Homo-oligomer: A and B are copies of this chain.
Amino acid sequence: MILHLKASVDANRASEIAAELKAAHVILPGGHVLVTSAKVKSVDSHYDQYIQESFVMESDIQLASRKYLGETRTIHLGDGLTLGGSSHNTVFMTGPCSVESKEQITQAAELCVSLGVKVLRGGCYKPRTSPYTFQGLGLEGLMLLVEMREKYGLKIISEVRDFSHVDEVIEHVDVIQIGAKAMYDHGILKACGKARKPVLLKRGFGSTLQEFVQAAEFILSGGNEQVILCERGIRTFETKTRFTLDLCGVAYLKEYTNLPIVLDPSHAMGYRYGVADLSRACTAMGVDGLLIEAHPNPNVAKSDADQQLDFPALRALHATLGPIATAVGRNFV
């Protein structure tokens, strides 16, 4: 149950009520909002004096639900660039899996500039499955991304792997990416709930849609309204491809949640050869953004070598997406 308190209720009283109701207390620009478990279907009538409006929800998807907020939320990436809401933007984001060197990330940044792409991605803390492979450049990588932002005016997005460096990532990036393996990490989710920057939350590859959106609720109920959902493939019995991109799930998320959606076909596919076709499919779904891995020389990439596009392939793909976006009434940015 979601309760909008009246403007007249001050923070102290709101906190007291939250404690009485065992509710999450969300402080938004519009005022105090309390959220109780979905099992609570009503509150005692003596609270009526404090309540402006209330919403009874049938599941623990609450703040993210279209039943609470009918419109897709607007995410502000900075400098007027938005995603979701009434923008109808499909924002293209690209860059390498891992930031590996200044030269490599500079090449990626210049590719973005030449294509008019506004968001550069690059991993610095890599959630590798083996301790015996490249683990990322860490803070040094983050600072290289910051340098690219300053030099080229790009927005930067990078992933937080675990709670130990969450503050560093929050401080430096424009969009905080929570990776699939960290989707359930309460430490990270809570830190992101307190942050005031957009968060791109990737779906765990073994996570249901319900759990995915509930993870977003951790951030939303922490007071951060800027949450983007990212589908990047789920694990199924099929192993010819790395994962299975769940576009049926995307249709569900578009129908039932108010969060914008970005798709990551590179991780889903795991191989270069399918990325272009899938990117076109994603664009035709009418989603809010795409995240595509590209590397100046994929064969020597230190992670995900098989799935990163080289720059000519990325340019060729990019050229085909605009017409599809137009055909489905979106602005390709």
Contact = CB atoms under 8 A, between A and B. Distances in A.
Contacts of A254: 274, 277
Contacts of A241: 248-249, 251-252
A92 interface: no
A131 B24 CA distance: 8
Contacts of A185: 162-163, 181-182, 185
Interface string A186-213: 1110000000000000001111111100
B238 A251 contact: no
A272 to B, nearest CB: 10
Nearest to A132: B37
A243 B248 CA distance: 8
Interface string A30-54: 0000011110000000000000000
Contacts of A283: 284
Interface residues of A, number: 80
Contacts of A326: 327
27 contacts: A37-B133, A130-B217, A131-B218, A131-B221, A162-B186, A162-B188, A206-B207, A206-B235, A208-B240, A233-B248, A236-B236, A240-B249, A241-B251, A241-B252, A244-B249, A247-B278, A248-B268, A248-B274, A251-B273, A254-B277, A255-B273, A277-B285, A320-B327, A324-B324, A324-B327, A324-B328, A326-B327
B129 A214 contact: yes
A186 B182 CA distance: 10
Contacts of A186: 127, 135, 161-162, 164
Given A129-B214, A164-B163, A188-B162, A251 B235 contact: no
